[in-house]
Amino acid sequence: MRWRNIWRKLVNYVMFSLTGVCALITVGVLFFILGYLIWHGGSSLSWTFLTHLPTPVGETGGGMANAIVGSAKLLLLASVFGIPIGFLGGVYLAEFGGQAFSSVVRYTADLLNGVPSIVMGIFAFTIVVLPMKHFSTLAGSLALGVMMIPIAVRSTEEALRTVPMMLREGALALGASKWKTIATVAVPAARKGIITGIVLDIARVAGETAPLLFTAFSNRFWSPGWNQPTASLPVMVYTYAISPYDDWHRQAWAAGLVLLTLVLVANVIARVTISGRTAHL
Amino acid sequence: MPFVYGTLVTSALALLIAVPTGVGAAIFLSELAPPRISNAMTFVIELLAAVPSVIYGLLGIFIMVPFLRQYGEPFLKRTLGFLPLFQGPAYGVGMLAGGLVLAVMVVPFIISVSRDVLMAVPVEQREAALALGATKWESTWQVVVPYARIGIMASIFLSLARALGETMAVTMVVGGTPAISASLFAPGYSIAAVIADQFAEATGDLYIQTLIELGLVLFALTIVINGLARVFIISTTKKGSGH
């Protein structure tokens, strides 16, 4: 009996230490990624890198200013597509929707969120690139915009649900219409949560590569307007990383560092402002 | 077919590595770690989930692949070389590399969902087990985990769907050879990788249609798996006290 108890205690300690090791390994991965990117990418990162166009193959130097601007344009247009739909959808779910229909919408939004990003790329390809016969910023933005909808819907809904019912009742009791109540009381009260959700949403699609490969494609020069193929940071990281040139590899590290920094900074800021509420999935 | 095979093998390999690690870490975070440490670690793990996949691919191609080629695969060959899984030349790129990158990528998802469902298990369940004289581990393993079983299954399904659809990181390390091979060292292909690799340069209607159909297969697969996972999640969170 005594030996059995010692054995049970031993199992207790060993198993819990193992779970601790699992957790430490996982957390360690992030610091490893960050450290390695800074170590490798930091040295190639310079002012030229951020402000110059890529040089022709074989020449060292040059940068990816066009990719940075391209990414910004893609995200801007994607936000124009995705955020209004997602935001209004979230308002509907939280303020109007009936039980049955809301759960169907919620379920569908979750499914849409789980659709592989490359499938979104194919979707945008078939409805924009095929009829127009060429790759464009527009197509890339559409793919990213559709990907933004489900998260925008869910985060807006969650934020609105945290607003106490009493605030709405107060406004209604003062004679405000339902629409006025939502626009002037509920949404401003949930403002912080909604904006945070949208920032996280943008940060997520900012790193997406797969849907851009055959919608926005790539471009070694500036891309005027919205109707031309454009470069973007994630696609640059990809094409440079699988290229055979050493100088391109260095630039891939630097671009990766820029991308990761942007995404992580957006995430940290957003998550710190909603600390306490975890916005996973 | 080689594409479906490659997709299944890399995803299975990823889950094989990621599930024990992820569930272990989730148990640590929900049962053992003090709240402050647990929250800090969860924060870091959520950041990990936000790292773009092309970054994982970048690290995969420049760090993991050379490492596997030089040390990992020769080592596996020496120790487990009698299995058909670990034979053949060590290229570095291949199914093994694809599976490993995927494993690293899905662990955060398993942890974050599993932790939530473990936290939703009522405290009374733990107290009852402890009161009967169970050690902490026994109460966790025989009471809490079975209680949260369905939710943990759901987290595994969600990450399976992610692993199946994950494109960039796999494309960069899997090797790009449409062949079925018993060895994990052999380069392969996955559905998502073949689409990413060949779509932009596909010429001719038939070629494009084939790739789009592969996309449809992928889409259907992930929708079914995700749908099941969501049903599981809804049923557990209703049962538990959380949310």
- Distance between CA atoms of B234 and A148, rounded to whole angstroms? 23
In the numeric block, which tokens belong to residue B100?
């490993």
Q: Is A115 left (phi over 0), alpha (psi -120 to 50) or beta?
A: beta
- Distance between CA atoms of B140 and B144, rounded to whole angstroms? 5
Taking residues B171-181, report their average pLDDT.
Answer: 67
pLDDT at A278: 46
The string of pLDDT tens digits covering residues A217-235 is: 766 666 666 667 777 778 7
Taking the Cβ of residue A109 and every Cβ of chain B, the question of whether any pair is shorter than 8 Å is answered with no
Interface size between A and B, measured as CB pairs under 8 A: 204
What is the span of the domain harbouring residue B117?
2-239
Q: How far apart are the first and last CA of chain B?
A: 42
pLDDT at A130 over 80: no
Q: A47-52 contacts: CB < 8 A, separation 24 or more?
A: A49/A251, A49/A254, A50/A258
- Which of A6, A27, A204 has the highest number of chain B CBs within 10 A, making it the mutation to test binding with B? A27
Q: What is the DSSP letter of B82?
A: T
The string of pLDDT tens digits covering residues B70-109 is: 776 666 666 666 666 666 666 666 777 778 888 888 888 8
Q: Exposure string (b/e) for B183-200, b if CB count within 10 Å is 16 or more?
A: bbbbbbbbbbbbbbbbbb
* Mean pLDDT of all residues belonging to chain B: 77
Taking the Cβ of residue B237 and every Cβ of chain A, the question of whether any pair is shorter than 8 Å is answered with no
pLDDT at B180 over 80: no
- Distance between CA atoms of B89 and A34, rounded to whole angstroms? 32
- Distance between CA atoms of A140 and B126, rounded to whole angstroms? 50
Q: Could you tell me the pLDDT band of residue B203, with boundaries at 50, 70 and 90?
A: low
Cβ atoms within 10 Å, residue B127: 11
Taking the Cβ of residue A253 and every Cβ of chain B, the question of whether any pair is shorter than 8 Å is answered with yes
The string of pLDDT tens digits covering residues A151-184 is: 888 888 888 888 888 888 888 888 888 888 888 8
pLDDT at B201: 67
**Structural domains of chain A, with CATH:** 47-273 (1.10.3720.10)
Taking the Cβ of residue A255 and every Cβ of chain B, the question of whether any pair is shorter than 8 Å is answered with no
- Among the residue ranges A50-54, B65-69, B163-167, the one predicted with the least confidence is A50-54
Q: Could you tell me the pLDDT band of residue A124, with boundaries at 50, 70 and 90?
A: confident
Q: Residues of A with CB below 8 A from B160's CB?
A: none
What is the DSSP code string of A68-131? HHHHHHHHHHHHHHHHHHHHHHHHIIIII--HHHHHHHHHHHHHHHHS-HHHHHHHHIIIIIHH
**CB-count exposure of residue A246 (10 Å: 0-12, 13-18, 19+):** exposed
Find the CATH number of the domain harbouring B97.
1.10.3720.10
Q: Is A62 left (phi over 0), alpha (psi -120 to 50) or beta?
A: left
Q: Between residues 13 and 32 of chain A, which touch chain B (CB distance below 8 Å)?
A: 15-16, 18-23, 25-27, 29-30
Q: Could you tell me the pLDDT band of residue B36, with boundaries at 50, 70 and 90?
A: confident
- CA nearest neighbour of B9 among B225, B193, B202: B193
The string of pLDDT tens digits covering residues B38-70 is: 888 888 888 888 888 888 888 877 777 777 777
* Mean pLDDT of all residues belonging to chain A: 79
B200–A214: do the CB atoms touch at under 8 Å? Answer: yes
Q: How far apart are the first and last CA of chain A?
A: 47
Cβ atoms within 10 Å, residue A157: 26
Name the amino acid, one letter, at A270.
A
Of all residues in chain A, the percent with pLDDT exceeding 70 is 86
Q: Could you tell me the pLDDT band of residue A249, with boundaries at 50, 70 and 90?
A: confident
In angstroms, the separation between the Cα of residue B14 and the nearest Cα of chain A is: 14
Q: Please state the φ and ψ torsions of residue A147, each to the nearest 5 degrees.
A: -65, -25
- Which of A122, A134, A154, A204 has the highest number of chain B CBs within 10 A, making it the mutation to test binding with B? A122
Q: B180-183 contacts: CB < 8 A, separation 24 or more?
A: B180/B1, B180/B2, B180/B5, B181/B88, B181/B95, B182/B84, B182/B85, B182/B87, B183/B84, B183/B85, B183/B86, B183/B87, B183/B88, B183/B95
Segment holding A157, helix H or strand E:
helix A137-161
> In this predicted model, which residue has the larger pLDDT, B3 or B121?
B121
Rounded to the nearest angstrom, the gap between the alpha carbon of residue B215 and the centroid of all alpha carbons in its chain is 20
In the numeric block, which tokens belong to residue A213?
């490969």
Q: Could you tell me the pLDDT band of residue A137, with boundaries at 50, 70 and 90?
A: confident
Q: Could you tell me the pLDDT band of residue A279, with boundaries at 50, 70 and 90?
A: very low
pLDDT at B88: 61
- As a 3-state breakdown, chain A gives helix, strand, coil percent values, each rounded to 5, of 75, 0, 25
- CA nearest neighbour of A107 among A157, A57, A53: A157
pLDDT at B243: 38
In angstroms, the separation between the Cα of residue B151 and the nearest Cα of chain A is: 14
Distances in Å between the alpha carbon of A200 and those of A14, A81, A143, B230?
A: 38, 16, 17, 22
ipTM at complex level: 0.75
Rounded to the nearest angstrom, the gap between the alpha carbon of residue A230 and the centroid of all alpha carbons in its chain is 19
pLDDT at A275: 58
Check if the beta carbon of residue A9 is closer than 8 Å to that of residue B135: yes
Check if the beta carbon of residue A160 is closer than 8 Å to that of residue A190: yes
Q: What is the domain count for chain B?
A: 1
- CA nearest neighbour of B115 among B53, B51, B41, B50: B41
Taking the Cβ of residue B160 and every Cβ of chain A, the question of whether any pair is shorter than 8 Å is answered with no
B168–A238: do the CB atoms touch at under 8 Å? Answer: yes
